[in-house]
Amino acid sequence: MPRLYKNLSLIIVIIAIIGLIALMVYTETGKEKAWIVENALGRILTPVQKGLYSVSSYVYNLFVGIGQRSSMKDEYEELKVRVAQLEKELYRLEELEKQNERLKDLAMFVDDNREIVVTGANVVAKNPGSWFNNITIDKGTKHGVAVNMAVVTNQGLVGRVIEVADNWSKVRTIVDGKSAVSGIIQRNRDNGLLKGSNTLGSEDGMCEMIYLPEDSNVAPGDKVLTSGLGEIFPKGIYIGEVVEVFKDKRALYKTAIVKPGVDFQRLEEVLVITNKDDYVLKQD
């Protein structure tokens, strides 16, 4: 018995060592088995994970794309509004530039003829038709405008005032069939009477200079000015240019077709001559 007790502790130590060795072996074997299982599961789950990642990425990109498209649409609408505003501003600036050019020409005309007194006016209405046979301007008695005052532009004679109110006036232009202006051929000083060709149902924007002497050598290209005869139109206002000359066999005079210097289809600003002193306008 004493010998058995003496070896018991040794036996317990040996058993403990064997147990530890067995535990170590079991643990290493478990790791290997766990790696095998993990490897198998990885092979199965990796494609699934890739698929889930692809789906989640697609969904994310889809929502991001929708957000971006919505943002781009808002920016596009804002740009459209901005472009429209810039186009309006461009049109306004272009119109101002054109108006400034017209006013500059009128100012140069006034500067070259400082002896005249004028009132500037805008054309605010015209009679129906293609041509400005009769026009309405935005100046009247409050601005010194009176009936029979001559109306001009830097291009030449427009017509005369036939009706006046406080803030507006009506002007009969030289192309109207009821208009009559005493004119003179600048080159040979032949006198005649200019009448407008525009009548109801017949409009060409031209004038006829009648009662020219039968022996007149008037020819296309001749310049026609106001003669100063009468009390309405000052002498020397440019009227237009002769484009054709003919003689009726039954008449004792020649007739010249005159193209006015004023572009009546694009008439926007005019000058009303408010003084009726005797003077001669300078011509180029």
> What are 107-126's pLDDT values in tens digits?
777 777 777 788 899 999 98
State yes or no: pLDDT of 58 exceeds 90: no
pTM above 0.75, yes or no: no
- The answer to whether 181 and 239 have CB atoms below 8 angstroms apart is yes
Per-residue pLDDT of 135-194, as tens digits, reads 999 999 999 999 999 999 989 999 999 999 999 999 999 999 899 999 999 999 999 999
Both 106 and 125 in one domain: the answer is: no
Q: Do 104 and 122 lie in a common domain?
A: no
Contact call for residues 186 and 238 (beta carbons, < 8 A)? no
The pLDDT assigned to 97 comes to 72
The token duo for 35 is: 């790696």
* Residue 152 within a domain: yes
Tell me which of 90, 112, 134 is where a domain ends: 112
Task: Label residue 84 by pLDDT band (50, 70, 90).
Answer: confident
Would you say residue 280 lies in a domain?
Answer: no
* Of 154, 214, 201, 211, the residue nearest 180 (C-alpha): 211
Given a contact cutoff of 8 angstroms between Cβ atoms, the answer to whether 272 and 145 are in contact is yes
Q: pLDDT class for 261, splitting at 50, 70, 90?
A: very high
**Res. 4: pLDDT tops 50:** no
Same domain, 107 and 138: no
Q: What is the three-class DSSP state of 233?
A: coil
Mean pLDDT, all residues of the chain: 78
Residue of 242, 32, 264 whose CA lies nearest to 151: 264
User: 232-271 burial, b if ≥16 CB within 10 A, otherwise e?
Assistant: bbbebbbbbbbeebeeeeeeeebbbbbbbbbebeebebbb
How many folded domains does the chain comprise?
2
Angle at 155 between CA 215 and CA 129, to 5 degrees: 90
Residue 122 and residue 76 share a domain:
no
> Is 284 domain-assigned?
no
Residue type present at position 254: K
Query: Is 200 found in the same domain as 83?
Result: no
Q: Are residues 257 and 147 in the same domain?
A: yes
Q: What is the pLDDT of residues 191-236, one digit of tens each?
A: 999 999 887 666 788 999 999 999 999 999 999 999 988 778 888 9
Residue 268 phi, psi dihedral angles, 5° rounding: -130, -40
- Does the pLDDT at position 267 exceed 80? yes
Q: How far apart are CA 23 and CA 194, in angstroms?
A: 133
C-alpha 236/C-alpha 279 separation (Å) is 8
* Residue 39, CB-side half-sphere exposure with 13 Å CA sphere: 6
Q: Where does the pLDDT of residue 9 fall: very low under 50, low under 70, confident under 90, or very high at 90 and above?
A: low
User: Which one is predicted more confidently, 48 or 160?
Assistant: 160
Selected residue with higher pLDDT from 63 and 187: 187
- Judge whether 206 lies within some domain: yes
Q: Which positions ≥6 away from 125 have C-beta within 8 Å? A: 135, 136
Q: What residues form DSSP beta bridges with 225?
A: 184, 238
**How far is 237 from 90, CA to CA, in rounded Å?**
37
Looking at the fold, whether 263 and 132 belong to one and the same domain comes out as yes
pLDDT confidence tier of residue 81, bands split at 50, 70 and 90:
confident
**Domain edge (last residue) among 46, 80, 112:** 112
171 and 250 fall within a common domain: yes
pLDDT of residue 184: 96
Query: Which of 51, 77, 112 is the C-terminal boundary of a domain?
Result: 112
- Best mean pLDDT range from 20-24, 25-29, 50-54, 162-166: 162-166
CATH code of residue 136: 2.40.10.350
Determine the structural domain holding residue 9 and report its residue range: 1-112
Looking at per-residue pLDDT, the higher value among 47 and 117 belongs to 117
283 located within any domain: no
Within 10 A of 129 (CB to CB), how many other CB atoms are there?
12
Same domain, residue pair 214 and 103: no
